[in-house]
Structure 1
């Protein structure tokens, strides 16, 4: 619906009756040529209510995996399988991590203990000059920035770098 009834005079030549929420017709007829804006009382009441404050979601896991996939909101199946192998090497699994696609939303990392960004386009509030494959701590959160999983899987050097920093951060 629009706030203006100006268009009604071109479409309707009969009286229009407003019906309240209970379904009872009011005796008030609306003249199609009348340009007065009519509104629903419930809409006015809703407009006067304060907006609810949305709380940030509480992380369900300690580890956040950040990735960049503009073609899909989810991590690609092959990347997920490879990531499960990586996490398995440090005693973790994809079942106990949260995922966030920076192509879809900006990251919110508060509440996590560790964050692993498998993209240089991580959008995290850390210096761009942060070295990849080096653990960085920000507000008590350990952050690792690495290359994409596809690049890591294709390079022995990158796998070694990732393994070294994962051992530092996830030492048992």
Structure 2
């Protein structure tokens, strides 16, 4: 005996669990629906029939940072003992930022250990066009091997500069020169 699409009597042999209909929701079957829509409809019906919850989407946490970010520059440091950045490094960073005609209050400073799940995707969603990373292992942050003191172009015209820690740069004239050369290319 041939069954038509409207004849669902055979389902009682496949679905042995009770089926509940949620008030206000309707199941509709269209005979002329394209194949893609049928697949989605079948998946939705299966979810409703078997009561499998949809997979939860992971909540993306907001990036915690210090500053106004009015110039769309994000500085990332690695200082587990600090909320954002220690006073010595902040004073040195202020001099660096001043040399490229920015004010420390115009940028955003994020501390890598204080921002759970910080990675390349969450960074690129942040409202910044330039990222300067000081002392963060780039394999943890970008899952790439970024060459130090070289500007890397990312998605949508965003740029990343990976550097040693501020304390290491402050004590090494060679690293200061490398940083200054890269910042000139990036900002001036």
TM-score, normalised with respect to structure 2: 0.57
* Total equivalences in the alignment: 120
User: Deviation of residue 72 (structure 1)?
Assistant: 1.6
2:47 aligned residue:
none
Which ranges of structure 2 fall in alignment gaps of 5 or more residues? 1-55
How far apart, CA to CA, are the structure 1 residues paired with 2:151 and 2:136?
Answer: 14
The CA deviation string for residues 64-119 of structure 1, in whole angstroms up to 9 with x for no partner, is 00000111222000100100000000001210111111112143322210000001
Pick from 100, 107, 110 the counterpart of residue 97 of structure 1. 107
The CA deviation string for residues 116-148 of structure 1, in whole angstroms up to 9 with x for no partner, is 0001424332512x1000000111210000000
Higher normalized strand content (fraction of residues)? 1
Higher normalized helix content (fraction of residues)? 2
How far apart, CA to CA, are the structure 2 residues paired with 1:157 and 1:55?
Answer: 39
2:90 aligned residue:
80
How far apart, CA to CA, are the structure 2 residues paired with 1:114 and 1:154?
Answer: 25
How far apart, CA to CA, are the structure 2 residues paired with 1:64 and 1:126?
Answer: 18
SS of equivalent residue, structure 2 residue 181: helix
More moved, 140-149 vs 107-116 = 107-116
The CA deviation string for residues 1-43 of structure 1, in whole angstroms up to 9 with x for no partner, is xxxxxxxxxxxxxxxxxxxxxxxxxxxxxxxxxxxxxxxxxxx
How far apart, CA to CA, are the structure 2 residues paired with 1:71 and 1:55?
Answer: 24
| Matched-pair contact (CA < 8 Å) for 2:150–2:161 | yes
SS of equivalent residue, structure 2 residue 108: strand
